[in-house]
């Protein structure tokens, strides 16, 4: 039988009441965070403490003044937005064909006197060993890594950036433009210690970072910004940094001072459970953005170089979004203005979410029916070539349900 | 009107009695009751237009209101340039006859139009020539469409009459023919005649 919701309804009710009971605690924690955000004390001292702190959490490095707010500038009369998004069909281990597919949606929108648009999708099949397996360069020894599962997701991100840089090359020079992707610019999935360095090299250095650098090179007139948009972010970098303001120790060191103290009992736990978006929902007005922070993510600090990731929060009216930008965007006021104003405009046009990303998703999305049709097509061509189309017994059993 | 400008749409669904066509330009729909044609080699299939619509390209995505803060309707499209890629204008063609060896026949062709056939607007001369015989009224009045057939019949006669040197004479002749066809359906005949400029 299928999922019996009656059986789980009781647990859901308990979960909801538990959260409701915690809500007053969360309000206190949020108020504590707001208090410290508005009155952080000596910012130089706080920056020093953040630089020296040894925490188990990710901190946001303060690049400006922590609590300054910025209004958007007026939109330029003519401007462009490009965006890409991707979707994939992973390798089906129950299918005889070892192949996968990445579908990239690309969007070009020109606003102003000569409005224009381009909406495209481009599927690519990966089936050869060279396409499906990563191995050390130059025949060096080392284990081979198959691109499937989470790694295929990262490969898809690489493809999104490849198409974005191709689109950027086609932009009309002289118009302010924003290149936009969905999600984080930080490839968190590559932080696993289990991954050999050549995998990170292939997907990050020769992949995403190469294409980000290509986009930067096109930015000769400081008119082309690059950003990623994270809707409903769960990040706590800024809250974690605020926790440092209440740490009683000269140099915060979680392992040294707080090991053995139960969670909830530590001095900085007065802000526990609050996420950055809750803080900025309370502290930003509609259309404002926060100051810019620097991500302390290890991969960003050690591998991204001049593309190191900065971020800010923006109140679009519907929600708080996290916008991530490379250093070369964060350090150019013109590009920051373009990013802020154009993202807001995109959200207003897209009922709360950037319209270019929304359309890129629509172009890229692969539905369950698409996936099924893809494998039917593979089977058909296999049959024409007299190749085996035998699937696993498990797969056959799922397809042909019986009593 | 040259051939390129008279090519307005492409067949996306076809059957013996009619077809659906998607316009190349959004909102560039032919008027209700106008005559269009598709080619089949040297021959042509003529049809009357009806059931025009503009809607989302994807069935699951409904257009939403976007103009609350815009000054004009044009501004809605200026601020949302992607809309033209996401919407489609389409219409139905009800077959009224066909040509074979340069002669018009006012009955159904042996085969339906091909999918992806180009759809052209008929020229005034072609319309006048095709409607020299009023036999096409038989297919026109028996057409089954989503709009009331009286509306389609009247619109078509009004459209064709404008292509004749003496529209009144043509309309009067068409009215007499309709009286024969609807000999036992006076209310329908009256509804159509009220919509003609007699």
Yes or no, beta carbons of B77 and A118 under 8 Å apart: no
Neighbours of A116 (CB within 10 A): 14
Looking at residue B198, its pLDDT comes to 61
Mutant choice from B74, B78, B82, B86 vs A, greatest count of A C-beta within 10 A: B82
User: Residue A304: which domain range?
Assistant: 79-235+288-364
Average pLDDT, chain B: 94
Q: Which residues are CB-neighbours of A83 under 8 A, at least 6 positions away? A: A106, A107, A164, A179, A180, A181, A182, A354, A356, A357, A359, A360
Total domains in the fold of chain B: 1
pLDDT computed for residue A402 by the predictor: 75
Q: What percent of chain A has pLDDT over 90?
A: 72
The residue-averaged pLDDT of A137-156 equals: 86
Domain membership flag for residue A146: yes
CA-nearest residue of chain A to B82? A117
Please report whether residue A43 resides in a domain.
no
Residue A200 within a domain? yes
Confidence grade of residue A218 (pLDDT, cut at 50, 70, 90): very high
Q: Assign residue A172 the CATH number of its domain.
A: 3.30.2170
Residues A359, B82: C-beta atoms closer than 8 Å: yes
* A27 falls within a domain: no
Using a CB-CB cut-off of 8 Å, the residues of chain A touching B77 are 115
How many angstroms separate the Cα of A377 from the Cα of each of A56, A240, A370, A389? 49, 51, 10, 11
The two tokens of residue A206 are 């020769």
C-beta atoms surrounding A153 within 10 Å: 16
The answer to whether residue B82 neighbours chain A at the CB level (below 8 Å) is yes
CA–centroid distance for A297 within its chain: 13
What is the span of the domain harbouring residue B81? Answer: 3-194
Examine residue A314 and state whether it is found in any structural domain, yes or no.
Answer: yes
Report ipTM for this prediction.
0.75
**Out of A116, A351, A362, closest to residue B81 by CB:** A116
Say which of A107, A111, A117 has its CB closest to residue B84. A117
Looking at the predicted structure, is the pLDDT value of residue B188 above 70? yes
Residue A1 banded pLDDT, cuts 50, 70, 90: low
A196 located within any domain: yes
Would the pLDDT of B4 be above 80? Answer: no
pLDDT of residue B1: 63
Closest residue to A117, CB basis, from B58, B61, B85: B85
pTM of the predicted protein model: 0.87
Q: How many domains does chain A have?
A: 1
């Amino acid at each position: 039988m299928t999922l019996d919701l009656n059986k789980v309804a009781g647990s859901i009710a308990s979960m909801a009441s538990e959260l409701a009971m915690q809500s007053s605690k969360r309000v206190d924690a949020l108020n504590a965070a707001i208090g410290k955000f508005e009155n952080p004390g000596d910012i130089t001292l706080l920056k020093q403490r953040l630089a020296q702190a040894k925490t188990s959490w990710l901190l946001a490095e303060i690049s400006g003044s922590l609590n300054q707010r910025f209004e958007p500038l007026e939109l330029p009369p003519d401007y462009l937005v490009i965006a890409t998004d991707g979707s994939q069909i992973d390798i089906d281990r129950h299918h005889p064909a070892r192949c996968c597919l990445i579908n990239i949606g690309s969007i070009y929108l020109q606003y102003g006197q000569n409005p224009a648009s381009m909406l495209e999708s481009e599927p690519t099949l990966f089936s050869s060993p060279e396409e499906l397996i990563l191995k050390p360069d130059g025949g060096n020894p080392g284990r081979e890594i198959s691109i499937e599962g989470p790694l295929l997701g990262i490969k898809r991100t690489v493809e999104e950036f490849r198409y974005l840089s191709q689109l950027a090359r086609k932009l009309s020079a002289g118009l302010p433009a924003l290149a936009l992707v969905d999600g984080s610019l930080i490839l968190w999935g590559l932080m696993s210690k289990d991954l050999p360095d050549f995998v990170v090299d292939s997907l990050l250095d020769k992949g995403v970072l190469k294409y980000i650098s290509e986009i930067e090179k096109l930015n000769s007139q400081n008119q082309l910004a690059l950003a990623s948009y994270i809707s409903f972010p769960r990040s706590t970098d800024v809250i974690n940094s605020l926790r440092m303001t209440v740490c009683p120790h000269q140099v915060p060191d979680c392992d040294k001072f707080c090991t053995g103290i139960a969670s909830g009992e530590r001095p900085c736990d007065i802000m526990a459970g609050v996420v950055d978006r809750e803080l900025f929902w309370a502290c930003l007005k509609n259309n404002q953005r926060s100051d810019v922070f620097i991500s302390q993510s290890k991969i960003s600090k050690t591998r991204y170089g001049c593309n190191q990731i900065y971020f800010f929060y923006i109140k679009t009216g519907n929600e708080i979004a996290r916008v991530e930008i490379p250093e070369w965007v964060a350090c150019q006021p013109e590009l920051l203005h373009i990013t802020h104003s154009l993202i807001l405009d995109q959200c207003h046009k897209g009922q709360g979410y950037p319209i270019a990303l929304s359309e890129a998703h629509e172009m890229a999305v692969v539905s369950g029916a698409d996936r099924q049709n893809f494998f039917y097509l593979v089977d058909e061509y296999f049959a024409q070539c007299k190749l085996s189309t035998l699937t696993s017994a498990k797969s056959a059993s799922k397809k042909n349900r019986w009593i | 009107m040259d051939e390129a400008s008279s090519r307005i749409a492409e067949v996306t669904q076809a059957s013996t009695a009619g077809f659906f066509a998607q316009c190349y330009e959004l909102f560039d729909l032919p008027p209700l009751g106008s005559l269009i044609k598709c080619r089949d080699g040297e021959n042509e299939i003529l049809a009357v237009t009806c059931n025009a619509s503009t809607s989302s390209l994807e069935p699951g995505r409904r257009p939403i209101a976007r103009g609350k803060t815009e000054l004009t309707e044009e501004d809605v499209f200026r601020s949302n340039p992607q809309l033209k890629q996401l919407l489609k204008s389409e219409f139905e063609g009800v077959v009224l006859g066909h040509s074979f060896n340069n002669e018009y026949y006012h009955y159904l062709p042996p085969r339906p139009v091909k999918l992806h056939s180009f759809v052209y607007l008929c020229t005034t001369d072609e319309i006048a020539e095709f409607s020299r015989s009023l036999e096409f009224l038989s297919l026109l009045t028996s057409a089954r469409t989503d709009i009331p057939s009286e509306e389609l019949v009247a619109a078509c006669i009004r459209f064709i009459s404008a292509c004749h040197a003496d529209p009144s004479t043509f309309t009067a002749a068409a009215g007499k023919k309709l009286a024969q066809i609807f000999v036992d359906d006076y209310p329908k005949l009256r509804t159509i005649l009220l919509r003609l400029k007699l």
